[in-house]
Amino acid sequence: MAMKRASASAFRALASSGNSNSSILTRELHASPGSKKIVGVFYKANEYAAMNPNFLGCVERALGIGDWLESQGHQYIVTDDKEGPVCGKYIDTKVYSVYMILELEKHISDLHVLVTTAFHPAYVTAERIKKAKNLQLVLTAGIGSDHVDLKAAAAAGLTVAEVTGSNVVSVAEDELMRILILIRNFLPGYHQVIKGDWNVAAIAHRAYDLEGKTVGTVGAGRIGRLLLQRLKPFNCNLLYHDRIKMDPELENQIGAKFEEDLDVMLPKWMFDKERIAKLKKGVLIVNNARGAIMDTQAVVDACCSGHIAGYSGDVWYPQPAPKDHPWRYMPNQAMTPHISGTTIDAQLRHAAGVKDMLDRYFKGEEFPPQNYIVKEGELASQYR
């Protein structure tokens, strides 16, 4: 078991150094048989929860693992409150009824496992980690770790993991959809229909085919590679930038060209006003990575001037986006809430992955290696 080995190495380190601080050792030794307290933080689906029995990523369904956890002798507390002090919810998974009990903060001191999602994340700060004396495991039902202070988690000896790959198809398909929506100038046409208008010229003057256009991805991991594969039949000029070059056979199969220096593919990185200004006029941008990588006002200004001909994505900063967030009102945008990785199919994968890791955790078994974000006090290589 990873946690047992980690406790042994922590003990050797402490013994050799003479350090009396046993916080890491204590965390790891708590990974023992017995009833565990698991807290899940998910968004509320309200009336939509009853519309699909596979809608598992909401507080009402709670990944569908409540009965199983209870049958194993564990306590499962579920809440949509991730900030406090608003009351949270306890889910009776047999009838999916909701009762007012405690907010997340009141469970921090004695929970063993925290499960949350990137779509409604419970923030695992250094302060919360200090309070969570029994916490051993933080799981993302999906992928992502922006909500976790990874350095603090590693220092405390926590295990942090995700269901790696569970959203790859969902996000790649979403990105392809957004590319087509932007390049075909789809949204103005849709708006015309619902307003009762009919003006073909207002749409056609900047609607293009995707064929023959240059599409570049910043990052070519699981999602980036799949997007490039999905784009190949459109006969685009495909470019990609990543820290690691693809295997030549895969690169040739996809038909994408590697740009080692990002400045070759883009005049500059897409952060601030100056760098956006160096992009080709009329560029279309799809950002499903992080809202914070873009200067919010610079994107607004460029969309207003036409320098950015279209901007789409499902990631915002901050998130959830406030009602007055300027991206909601800028022209030529096709923004949505953070939804790309939470399709019903993805939710089924999230739930299955979390259940598998919890089962392995209870049995003292290793997780799939790719799922680890923090393990035995070390961050996975991509997070260093």
The string of pLDDT tens digits covering residues 52-68 is 999 999 999 999 999 99
Which candidate, 267, 321, 271, places its Cα nearest to that of 292? 271
pLDDT confidence bin for 13, thresholds 50/70/90: very low
Maximum CA pair distance of the chain? 78
**For position 256, what pLDDT does the model report?**
97
| CATH class held by domain 167-335 | alpha beta
Q: Is the separation of the CB atoms in 331 and 309 below 8 Å? A: no
**For position 59, what pLDDT does the model report?**
96
**For position 357, what pLDDT does the model report?**
97
For the cut 60, the answer to whether the pLDDT of residue 102 exceeds it is no
Q: Let me know if 374 is exposed, middle or buried by CB neighbors in 10 A (0-12, 13-18, 19+).
A: buried
**For position 19, what pLDDT does the model report?**
40
Phi-psi region of 73 (alpha: psi -120 to 50; beta: other; left: phi over 0): left
Helix axis angle for 344-363 and 168-183, nearest 10°, is 160
Q: Cα separations (Å) of 200 from 190, 206, 309?
A: 11, 11, 18
pLDDT mean over 112-116: 97
pLDDT confidence bin for 381, thresholds 50/70/90: confident
Q: What gap in Å lies between CA 375 and CA 37, rounded to an integer?
A: 21
Tell me the binding residues. 143, 167, 222-223, 242, 288, 314, 338-341
Report the CATH architecture of 37-164+343-379.
3-Layer(aba) Sandwich (3.40)
Q: Within the chain, how many helices (H) and strands (E) appear?
A: 14, 15
pLDDT confidence bin for 326, thresholds 50/70/90: very high
**177 contact partners, CB below 8 Å, separation of at least 6:** none
What percent of the chain has pLDDT above 70?
Answer: 85
**For position 266, what pLDDT does the model report?**
62
Tell me the binding residues for NAD(+). 222-223, 242, 288, 314, 338-341
**For position 243, what pLDDT does the model report?**
86
Q: Tell which wins on pLDDT, 90 or 80.
A: 80
**For position 214, what pLDDT does the model report?**
96
**241 contact partners, CB below 8 Å, separation of at least 6:** 216, 217, 218, 219, 220, 258, 259, 260, 261, 262, 265
Q: Is the separation of the CB atoms in 71 and 362 below 8 Å? A: no
**227 contact partners, CB below 8 Å, separation of at least 6:** 172, 175, 176, 217
Q: What is the pLDDT of residues 235-280, one digit of tens each?
A: 999 999 998 899 999 999 999 999 888 776 665 656 789 889 988 9
**For position 34, what pLDDT does the model report?**
86
pLDDT mean over 69-74: 95
**For position 210, what pLDDT does the model report?**
98
Q: Tell which wins on pLDDT, 99 or 373.
A: 373
Please give the model's pTM, rounded to 2 decimal places. Answer: 0.83
Tell me the binding residues for substrate. 143, 167
Average pLDDT of the chain to the nearest whole number: 86
Q: Let me know if 104 is exposed, middle or buried by CB neighbors in 10 A (0-12, 13-18, 19+).
A: buried
For the cut 60, the answer to whether the pLDDT of residue 2 exceeds it is no
pLDDT mean over 373-382: 91
**164 contact partners, CB below 8 Å, separation of at least 6:** 143, 222, 368, 370, 371
Q: What gap in Å lies between CA 343 and CA 347, rounded to an integer?
A: 6
Q: What is the pLDDT of residues 142-168, one digit of tens each?
A: 999 989 999 999 999 999 999 999 999
| Peptide linkage before 320 cis (omega within 30 of 0) | yes
β-pairing verdict for 372-375 and 378-379:
antiparallel
pLDDT mean over 177-182: 98
For the cut 50, the answer to whether the pLDDT of residue 17 exceeds it is no
**For position 270, what pLDDT does the model report?**
61
**70 contact partners, CB below 8 Å, separation of at least 6:** 76, 93
For the cut 50, the answer to whether the pLDDT of residue 99 exceeds it is no
Q: Tell which wins on pLDDT, 373 or 97.
A: 373
User: Helix, strand or coil for residue 348?
Assistant: helix
β-pairing verdict for 75-79 and 37-41:
parallel
At position 378, the amino acid (one-letter code) is: E
DSSP 247: P
Domain ranges in the chain are: 37-164+343-379, 167-335
What positions carry a catalytic annotation? 167, 290, 319, 338
